[in-house]
Amino acid sequence: MISDKSYSLSTIMNRIKQVFEERMNEVYFWMKAELMHVKSDRNGHYYLDLVETKDGSILAKSTAQIWNYTATYLKEELATDFNQIIKPGSEIMCYCKAVFHTVYGLSFVITKVDINYNLGALERKKKAILEQLLKEGILEKNKQHKLPKVIQRIALVGSPNTSGYEDFLNQLKKNSYGYAYHVKTFPAKVQGDTAAIEIAEQLAKISYSDFDAVVLLRGGGSKFDLEAFNDYDLAKAIGCCPLPVITGIGHETDTSIADLTAHTSLKTPSAAGAFIVERTVEFENNIHLAYLNIKRIYDQKLQQLNKDLKHHITEFAALSKAQTRTERGNLHTLSNRIINLVNEEQVEAHSLLNKVVQQLNLLPNKKAQQALQLKNEQAEQLQLYSSYIIREARTPLKQKAEQLPYLTKMKLRATNSKLTEWEHYPSLYHPEVLLKKGYALVRKENEIIKPTTTLKKGDFIEIELYDRTINAKIEDTPTWKTLHTKKQNTN
């Protein structure tokens, strides 16, 4: 039906508003939308542009507001996740109502944001990236590198001057074993939209031949703060890194894609530092155990050789005696046969026999002396090594003893400075100082007036100022209900 009657724009808009409020007034509902633009003013209000798209086409578009009292509540509820959720490109599930204004048109007022919806979206995205990494063979690639038994040359990727960064370095520098580590920092943001890109770029800058391993640090945070470590490109850079990557990202309840892609994942930066020190301790202990095992085998061999030597000496001595007796018997038999030989031949035969006997007796003694000399040399070497071990153990104790007087002196100096400062406090509250500031002392009959002092009309009082004394007479004594309003009691 066509009407010839015309209406003004305001009339039509007001009618639409009336109909809209009849149906939608104070009706709240949950709505899913993507944030296209986000801005805030100095009063704390947030103004959002909402959009819904499909296949690159815009299906719907509107504006929304988060008033300052709601924004304050959401910031308290979401903490650091607020800026990670309320940002351009983020999809949110919000509790809101629709409002219609004759000038500004349709908009929405948001009162709640469902963080679980955003967490679910993160988990779905994380699962898809993990499946892609697994399909491409990148997820387990870095774990195929062999981690050195001693990690001494470290390429550190993280944000300097953060608590996690300092905790890691303290674990290495202040280890109780005195180990020295070479650490070179490759600085990068570990939170925000550009963090994943910066970390991947720093990984590409590392001269891998100069290091034993790469350590990637982050000092903790919420799931949204750690979203940079769920980035596909960063995970690919970690998986393809030529060196084993150790992560200490600092979250106890969740595991990032960077953790799963790295060679070794630790919960915190401190744990990553402790892990490196513990590997060095384990290596040193294994070396020491190997030394003790070699020494034990050597001692056993030496004992066996000494035992065999004694046996050979005893056996050779018995053989020599038996051989001597046999030779003497043969000589006696022979002497009876050649008794008619000339005296020169008999003397020569006796001389030859004596030389043989002397040589046989000297040989066992020479073997025993050589074995004794070898044992003495080994005892001297063992004593020298024991002295070296004791000297190395005394060095850290001596250093701590030298530091103790200096630390004590610094503590006493700080305490004396604080005592000197406290000495000035009494003078600040001296009556003369208070009088100079404009305060007064009020007395009645030479007694300071207190809340319990009875005052009545006609009493004389003395008011002492800094530079004069005033005598006055009380005309009235009103009392106050409260000190804030100074409202008088009704007598």
Q: How do the pLDDT tens digits run along the chain, 491 residues long?
A: 555 677 888 888 888 888 888 888 888 888 888 888 999 999 989 999 998 888 878 888 889 999 998 888 888 877 767 777 788 877 888 888 888 988 888 899 988 888 777 666 667 777 778 888 888 888 889 999 999 999 999 999 988 888 888 999 999 999 999 999 999 999 988 777 788 889 999 999 999 899 999 999 886 555 555 677 888 888 899 989 999 999 988 665 567 888 889 999 888 899 999 999 999 999 999 998 989 999 889 888 888 888 888 888 888 778 877 777 787 777 777 767 767 665 666 567 567 667 765 665 665 566 667 767 776 776 677 677 667 766 766 666 677 667 777 777 777 777 777 777 666 666 666 677 777 777 888 888 888 888 788 888 888 888 888 788 888 888 887 765 554 455 555 54
DSSP 3-state of 246: strand
Q: Does the reported pTM lie above 0.85?
A: no
Helix spans in 96-194 (H):
115-136, 163-173
Q: Strand 46-54 and strand 57-66: pairing?
A: antiparallel
The percent of the chain in helix, strand and coil, each rounded to the nearest 5, is 55, 20, 30
Half-sphere exposure of 55 (CA within 13 A, CB side): 0
Give dist(CA 275, CA 245) in Å, integer. 13
How many residues does the structure list for the chain?
491
Contact 465, 440 (CB under 8 A): yes
